[in-house]
Structure 1
Amino acid sequence: MISILIAASVGLVVSILLTPYLIRFFSKQGFGQEIREEGPEGHKSKRGTPTMGGVAIIVAMVVGYFVAHLVDYWRGSSEGPTASALLVLFLSVGLGLVGFLDDFIKIRKQRNLGLNKTAKLVGQLVVAVAFAFLVLQFPDANGLTPASQHLSYARDIALIFFPIPIFVLFCYLLVSAWSNAVNFTDGLDGLAGGAGAMVLATYVVISFWQARLSCVEAFQPACYNVRDPLDLAVVAAAATGACIGFLWWNAAPAKIFMGDTGSLALGGLVAGLSMTTRTELLAIVIGGLFVVEMISVVLQIAVFRTTRKRLFRMAPFHHHFELAGWAETTVIIRFWLLAATCCMFGLGLFYSEQLGLGGG
């Protein structure tokens, strides 16, 4: 528990102190955000706001995680970083690098489009496939690997097993879906950062609960076969603190945007945590806001291509409400409430599943 608190605290402090430095540095370099011409009129004033602030989230998360382990080492703990946590960090940082390249190209070419779709998908593919192969390695003393080839809800579903090629494809689809879903949500000041912090905080609770009821520690009704759940809680806590620290500067009116650097990294975290905690289907509920934002884009494209009419005034659909006359802060706060509701509902489903199997 102390490691979780240290990781969250360090992530928060590093993020809140590093972000203003990045604001000054990126401003001097002219690393300003380009704005979609067809977007809400109020967004035109945001042109030139520094972007790539996701660097602060990634650095703070990594520093928070390793400082927590250093403190553990000084306190005499023999446990170091685990395979599960390091692989989730790898996935997040790898996708963050893809997003960084995307942001950098936008800035250099002064346009709202960075990497083309093919290059972006290839970058996500390389990181996701590497993660897929590695996450089935590194068995512990009980034979548990960081992820399993079973589909999961609140634990592995025994009847649904993926052969290796299907698992790799499934992993790629999952990583691509979550990273793009968070990316679509990142369109208003603090929206993705605030919702991301809630989802990650939910995973702190889930992974900590799994550690308390681990089958490895003591076999009991409804225990969890998850490798390194406590260390996954440390990663999620460090990332939660990093998001909250960044949100201090990213909340409306934003002094800096996270850019694709941050949104792809956060999407990778959600995907990685869902696989390593065996909650892939449950994550759809926990990250419900991100899912709905992605669905709004898919529906907009599908309806327009079939009928040549628009389902929403603009997609992702948070812009629909802006164009309908809602103030930006109203949209953000109400969507934060939706995100919080999804997280609470997801936690309720997780706990009720455990109760249903005879846990307490």
Structure 2
Amino acid sequence: MTPAWPRLLPAGLALVALIWGQDALSLAPNRLMPGAPLMARDVLPGWALLSLPLLLTGAAPWRGAPLAAAAALLVLLAALGMAAAGLLEGAAPAARATLGAAAWLALAALAALVFWPGPARVLAAALLALGLGALAWGGVLDGLSLAVEFHARREAVAAALLTHLWLSLAALGLALALASMLALAGLASARLGAFFDTLLGGVQVVPAIALFGLLVPVLAALLGAFPGLRAAGLGAIGATPALIGIALYLSLPLLRALRTGLTATDPAVLQAATALGMGRGRMLAWVRLPLGLPHFLGGLRVAAVQAVGLVTLGGLVGAGGLGALVFEGMAQFATDLILLGALPVVALALAVDAGLGAMERRA
């Protein structure tokens, strides 16, 4: 097997060349004002720049490219954190040291390499998570403006994350219940199944913002006609329109996956089950559902990742979650606040995709 280092050595050198003469950090007077760009060669220590190609070259034959990239990413991030802390010494209390474009590009390239397909990917992701936790716990990253913003809004970020998870799970559960009923109805009537598919397909072409906007007056009229619904906790704004709208979007991939799984059973198997005296209910529970599990998990994987992303837009109708931080940051032109909401959404989506993908492969 050809070792990975001959292929990764040019990548490491290109990475250093990318950030050498570009802005790695910028020093701004406060969280809203743009900062003065600072070149990597002026702020990063030489050992950090030298270690990037060495790590990508020397560690790759040992455990593969993902592990080498995780180590290089942690070294680069630690160097950026220490450089930011040095820049803030003697500066005004409101001053912020933010990551520059070259730093973001280098970190993104290394992060993509961490998740390169292969057996070392899981180990590399675990190393990266542990390393990030160690750097944060040790205060190495405290000089970066993103860490400063996080410390100032720790409770708000934690609450938004929990709300985001709850909304994602609730929308996914609601969509799964709806798709299951429609799939079973479609199994009994092909024409009815085609109608449901067309109906949910029409929802997909409506932009999410437009759908949420349409649901607000519809729910307001419904709550006005039936005040008891308001007493039950439903509202025209907030979680209710977000959950309904997101569930409608998620229902189509779930419906198609369920329908494919339920109809993928070999007719000979169905004939054998019928010969054994199985009714429709037992055949569904003991034959169709187990044999269609890989198809179900594939649709669930797509819908779960979509749920994590679409809940972000729920902040537009007052549902809360990480999307509320993103839109608040946009309103204030505060990049760090936007990232505080966006980065956990990306991490959640990747984690959900990886977890359900592993279940799908096993099934």
- Which structure's relative contact order is higher, taking Cα pairs within 8 Å and 6+ residues apart? 1
Structure with greater helix percent? 2
Q: Which has the larger radius of gyration?
A: 2
TM-score normalised according to structure 2 size = 0.25
TM-score normalised according to structure 1 size = 0.25
